Amino acid sequence: MKWTKSFIYTLKEAPSDAEIASHKLMVRSGLIKKLAPGIYTYSPLGLRAIRKFENIVREEMNAVDSVELLMPMVQPAQVWEESGRWATSGDMGLLKFKNRNEQEFCLGPTHEEVITDFVKRDVKSYRDLPKSLYQIQTKYRDEIRPRFGLMRGREFIMKDAYSFDRDQQAAYVSYDKMYGAYRKIFSRLGADFRVVDADSGSIGGNKSNEFHILAESGEDHILAAEQGEFAANVEVCPAIDAEDPKSANEDLRPVEEFATPNLRTIADLAEFMGRPESELVKTLFFDAAASEKEFKPIAVLVRGSDELNLIKLKKHLDLPAEPRMLTDEEVRKVTGGASPGSCGPVGLSIPVYQDNSVAKMKNIVVGANKDDVHLKHVNQGRDFKVAATADLRFAKAGDKNPAGDGLLTSYRGIEVGHVFYLGTKYSKAMKADYLDENGKAQVMEMGCYGIGITRTVQAVVEQNHDADGIIWPLAIAPYAVHVCLLDAEDQTSSDLADQLTEKLEAVGLDVLVDDRKERPGVKFKDADLLGMPVRVVIGKRSLERGVVEVVDRKSREKSEVEPDKILGFIQDLLKG
């Protein structure tokens, strides 16, 4: 492709709304252009990267016998009413509207309902199962605050796949096949990624993994083993202390009251006592009632240096939603009058839960349930009763790897893929049944599997760039080779560019030829910004010496190569 025949316009300045490098670079290189907040046009160059990634996804989906179809983007309310999600879809950013005939529709950000409706109308027998279907489609989510370009856009391209199986065992097989396909997809991208255990959130189900491309700017916090495979989203990562607390082997000492005037926070207390926060204990208060009509106050103890994980607490208490923290007023009521900064477990008449890390601590420091007074040498069992001990805190770097040796390290990640075992959540609600060998109706078991196509492309840019621009991996580079034709009007130069293009395309390497009448400096700057893996510089003067220059975008290594050896040289470089 010749630059002048395509539509490529680069910008010197990043737009003011671009906060992260990949957003800036994608706009500056003209890959995307904003039409409205979170809504972008994919330029010819941008679309090439997207299409290449789509094809990688397509190949790996097909390889695990998932079959491509295309479902409507506009979905009738009716199927969402069948699944029960029409009323509860607010959080998902479901954009609802009425058509001219006053019928209710939405722009579906996901297709569980539509695919279940599609499959159940044909699949009637165990002989038809398993089935796996996928689509690659433009979707819309009505994000309130779109940001980071394609990372958190309103309109975006997704690959979503759905599996239908006879029973849970078969559904797990489908899940594992898809999991394998995802590993291949992100490996083919050359991306540094982690597969993490994830909370399955509002989509339902109880087996779920996220695929994250690692990047400093990632919105997700991941903990991964220093050695081995284990990784988890911080929201669900088991927390295990690497060492016992210092006080674990102390003898129990008698409780002592001491004055802590105006000390409201753990940090205040730690400074006052000259002890690290990890040796202190926080007492937190929640309403553990399952409905708003009841009131079931509880206290939860966590180490001063830890953060309580509400998702874990919700799961431990088997609540429908995360429990609500009590107001100061309510805390005073349950503690007999103490403000939150001076509370503790001693003397409470409500259940007290504690995090695992508190369980081994001896002679702990807690509030006395009297303002400006704390207790030291408090011990569970002797001084207060524990309703249950459980993993209730957020794990953090330095904790023990829960799946093997070594410790956990902390990463930031961009969630680009997600595999879910759904069970019968949708198939039950929408009556997706089949007849088993005995002619008995059974509910299908489902899984759903998403990859954010456009988000992944940007995540790759986020992970692969330098100060001058993008460094595309070959797998999804808009073009493999970028030819800078320094003297576009020199016949020898442009003939060589044409021949080279033909040779490279014959071996499946696509070529962009910058044939503009621009200064070399402008062309080099744009080549760096656009970031194709290999740059070939064809100049009249170097041609007279019988060479062209080949530059590896990533290493910036330059080589002078004779024209008839370029093809082989580039192939070697790209195998690199």
Question: Least CB distance from residue 548 to a copy of itself, whole Å?
Answer: 27
| Residue 324 phi, psi (nearest 5) | -90, 135
Neighbours of 466 (CB within 10 A): 14
Token pair in block for residue 449: 């599997």
Asked if 131 interacts with a copy of itself (CB under 8 A), we say yes
The residue among 145 and 541 lying less far from a copy of itself, judged by its C-beta, is 145
Rounded-to-integer distance, Cα 481 and Cα 502, Å: 12
Rounded-to-integer distance, Cα 546 and Cα 559, Å: 13
The residue among 83 and 401 lying less far from a copy of itself, judged by its C-beta, is 83
* Helices assigned H by DSSP within 464-546: 491-506, 520-530, 540-544
Question: Least CB distance from residue 344 to a copy of itself, whole Å?
Answer: 44
CA-derived radius of gyration, the chain: 30
Question: Least CB distance from residue 478 to a copy of itself, whole Å?
Answer: 12
Question: Least CB distance from residue 93 to a copy of itself, whole Å?
Answer: 7
327: CB partners within 8 A, 6+ apart:
none
Which residue among 26, 27, 79, 509 contacts a copy of itself (CB under 8 A)?
79
Rounded-to-integer distance, Cα 361 and Cα 347, Å: 19
Token pair in block for residue 457: 């492309």
Cis peptide before 37 (omega within 30 of 0): no
Rounded-to-integer distance, Cα 156 and Cα 150, Å: 7
521: CB partners within 8 A, 6+ apart:
none
The residue among 12 and 121 lying less far from a copy of itself, judged by its C-beta, is 121
Q: Which of residues 19-78 bind a copy of itself (CB under 8 A)?
A: 30, 33, 35-36, 39-44, 46-47, 50, 65, 67-76, 78
The residue among 40 and 186 lying less far from a copy of itself, judged by its C-beta, is 40
x/- mask, a copy of itself, residues 147-186, rule CB under 8 A, reads: -------xx-------------------------------
For a copy of itself, which stretch binds (CB under 8 A), given 137-145, 178-186, 222-230, 525-533?
137-145
Residues 69, 75, 77, 82: what is their CA dihedral angle, to the nearest 10 degrees?
A: 10
Rounded-to-integer distance, Cα 458 and Cα 31, Å: 10
Asked if 9 interacts with a copy of itself (CB under 8 A), we say yes
Token pair in block for residue 24: 């800036």
253: CB partners within 8 A, 6+ apart:
363, 377
Which residue among 3, 53, 80, 140 contacts a copy of itself (CB under 8 A)?
140
- The kind and range of the H/E element at 332 are helix 328-335
Name the residue type at position 428.
Answer: K
x/- mask, a copy of itself, residues 348-377, rule CB under 8 A, reads: ------------------------------
The residue among 33 and 316 lying less far from a copy of itself, judged by its C-beta, is 33
Question: Least CB distance from residue 68 to a copy of itself, whole Å?
Answer: 6
Name the residue type at position 327.
Answer: T
Three-state DSSP class for 298? strand
x/- mask, a copy of itself, residues 97-126, rule CB under 8 A, reads: x-xxx-x-x-x------x--xx--xx----
For a copy of itself, which stretch binds (CB under 8 A), given 131-139, 227-235, 274-282, 492-500?
131-139
Question: Least CB distance from residue 108 to a copy of itself, whole Å?
Answer: 10
| Residue 465 phi, psi (nearest 5) | -155, 165
The residue among 146 and 413 lying less far from a copy of itself, judged by its C-beta, is 146
Question: Where along the sequence are the contacts to a copy of itself (CB under 8 A)?
Answer: 5-7, 9, 30, 33, 35-36, 39-44, 46-47, 50, 65, 67-76, 78-79, 93, 95, 97, 99-101, 103, 105, 107, 114, 117-118, 121-122, 131, 133, 137-138, 140, 142, 144, 154-155
